[in-house]
Amino acid sequence: MIGQVQKPLEEILEYLEGKKKIVIIGCGGCATVFHTGGEPEVKEMANTLTREGKEVLAAIAPPFGEFTCYAPWSKKRLSKYRKEIEECDAILMLSCGDGLQTVREFVLEKEYNLTKPIYPGTNPMGHMGGGPTLFKEKCQQCGECELGRVAGICPLTQCAKGLLNGPCGGSQNGKCEVDPEKDCAWILIYERLKKLGELDKLRKPRDPHDWSKVKRPRQLEVSPLEIE
């Protein structure tokens, strides 16, 4: 999921300065889980903006499970609000940057041929796993997963230096030398490999990590899903 927090209201109001008619769009995916763009947050933002003198033409909160970053869902949901979207002075997105840019490119530009100001209402914090309350960053989407040789613990993400070929040697009592509050990822990897009886994996020569897969922007093509 994309961890995220709401932007300060002052920043949002700064974006919306001089814009009267606003459409708010939330997200039924990560933004609902992180309480930045689910139904309660969309309603609350609509009330706040109304108090600030804005005219909220539509406050759109997709149901839980409906990701705004999936263009077919956004196209379908937003089609009911096309008039409001065309009439508004600005759109405020209570979603992550994926959601905002999906709506901008696939709905506004490609579907409606519309150039409209669209602003973020959240600060995305990266991919995180866990819940229901505590989430942790676990993966940087490097494009070539190493978890099969490191006991399911990502050294790129969990090691403060992102070391892929063993520890730096600075660990003290199992803690990281960069942040003594955190466990050394390589000690965790070693201990888990030991329990699994797979310590020999650390001795095997390996090809260098393929950093070319990190080159941005990345894109993928898949066959489309059937949606109702």
DSSP string, 23-87: EEE--SSHHHHTTSSSHHHHHHHHHHHHHTT-EEEEEE-PPTT--TTSHHHHHHHHHTTHHHHHH
Residues 115-144 that bind ligand SF4 (CB under 6 A): 139-142
Under the binding rule (CB under 6 A), the answer on residue 157 touching ligand SF4 is yes
Cis preceding-peptide flag for 217 (omega within 30 of 0): yes
Residue of 186, 189, 190, 193 interacting with ligand SF4 (CB under 6 A)? 186
Q: CA-to-CA distance for 178 and 175, rounded, in angstroms?
A: 9
Shortest Å, Cβ 98 to ligand SF4: 17
Instruction: Name the residue nearer to ligand SF4 (CB basis): 114 or 199.
Output: 199
Segment interacting with ligand SF4, rule: CB under 6 A, options 9-17, 61-69, 152-160, 194-202: 152-160
Under the binding rule (CB under 6 A), the answer on residue 147 touching ligand SF4 is yes
Under the binding rule (CB under 6 A), the answer on residue 48 touching ligand SF4 is no
Q: CA-to-CA distance for 137 and 131, rounded, in angstroms?
A: 12
Strand-pairing partners, residue 90, are 22
What phi, psi does 174 have (nearest 5°)?
80, 0
Residue of 2, 24, 159, 193 interacting with ligand SF4 (CB under 6 A)? 159
Under the binding rule (CB under 6 A), the answer on residue 214 touching ligand SF4 is no
Under the binding rule (CB under 6 A), the answer on residue 156 touching ligand SF4 is yes
What phi, psi does 140 have (nearest 5°)?
-105, 10
Segment interacting with ligand SF4, rule: CB under 6 A, options 28-36, 105-113, 177-185, 198-206: 177-185
Of 22, 23, 47, 25, nearest to 122 by C-alpha is 25
Residue 169: helix, strand or coil by DSSP? coil
Instruction: Name the residue nearer to ligand SF4 (CB basis): 72 or 143.
Output: 143
- Residues lying near ligand SF4 in the complex (CB under 6 A): 139-142, 145-147, 154, 156-157, 159-161, 163, 167-168, 170-171, 176-178, 184-186
